[in-house]
Structure 1
Amino acid sequence: MNDLLSSSPLRALIVDDDLDSIILLTTLLEMHGVDVTSAFCADQAMQKLRSQPDILIADLAMPHIDGYELIRQIRTLPPEQGGQIPAIAVSAWVAIEAQNKAVSAGFHTFITKPYQLTELLETVSQLTDWRPLESGVTA
């Protein structure tokens, strides 16, 4: 894991084909000191992965290449190209099968939309050793 406690801000790559979802997640994370980059599809995500973000947060239901296939492609990369990036799957699907499929595909964990801020921040923190900045916002 990265030592992000006293160094530069955590860098997150958000992948979702829904602009409102990206705006919401970006706002929640930026309020707590995260530097966010976004992608609207898997192809953009693969390009932006070159900037070496610290964590990936990806929606599962995207057209063309879904989140499952995206993480499978990422896991084939060498570590220095992002192949071992901590990854969170997000989806409105609540079925345990979707969650299990996400983890089997290569995600570390799964968070259900709509986001619970506390769960989101705790999950990111557990996967990266990062600690959120206090923003005065509670959830």
Structure 2
Amino acid sequence: MSNNSEEQHPQNVTNSDNSLDGLHILVVDDNADSLFLTTCVLESYDVQVTTATSGAEALEIVEKFKFDMLIFDIAMPDMDGFTLLKQIRNNELTENRNIPAIALTALGSEEDLKMALKSGFQGYVNKPLDPNMLIAEILKLTVDS
């Protein structure tokens, strides 16, 4: 089985200077198809992915593991991505409170982008997921931090 990185990765995104290999990212999305797609994209870049399908599950997970980045759907039942991020940021007991976070959402207006950034997200990616946009946003945040 050959390992041709040009076939594995979206075009024009990765290079050897900006490897995502070894990052540990928490992805939270209540939509199983979206969660699966996001996980597959990240794992194709050798990212270690931990997933949750609700805000409550994510809060339990962040108490147990250290992450390099958070990727949250915004529109989830019971606890939206804004509330989830606020609870993590306000928890002084977790190592994950200050790490970069990306909003992953079908809400695509300029106002939604401003609200996400004001709420503490450093990045914003629209659904349906464009793998190139997601990876570019992650690279931007890993280079900046």
Fold in common (TM above 0.5): yes
Q: Percent same amino acid among aligned pairs? A: 36
Gaps of 5+ in 1: 130-139
1:57 equivalent in alignment to 2:107: no
CA distance in 1, matches of 2:75, 2:20: 34
Match of 1:45 among 38, 48, 58: 58
Match of 2:34 among 4, 21, 32: 21
Equivalent residue, structure 2, for 1:134: none
Gaps of 5+ in 2: 1-17
Shift of 1:100: 1.1
Q: Of the two, which has the highest radius of gyration?
A: 2
Give the TM-score taking structure 2 as reference length: 0.80
Shift of 1:79: 7.8
Tell me the SS of whatever aligns to 2:107: coil
Q: Which runs of 4+ in 1 moved over 3 A?
A: 5-8
1:84 equivalent in alignment to 2:85: no
Shift of 1:77: 2.2
Tell me the SS of whatever aligns to 2:30: coil
Shift of 1:7: 10
Give matches, 1:74-113, under 5 Å. Answer: 74-78=88-92, 80-113=94-127
**How many residues end up aligned between the 2 structures?**
126
- Look up the equivalent residue of 1:95 and give its one-letter code: S
Shift of 1:105: 1.0
Give the TM-score taking structure 1 as reference length: 0.83
Match of 2:138 among 110, 114, 124: 124
CA RMSD after TM alignment: 2.1
Shift of 1:6: 8.2
Shift of 1:8: 6.7
Equivalent residue, structure 1, for 2:46: 33
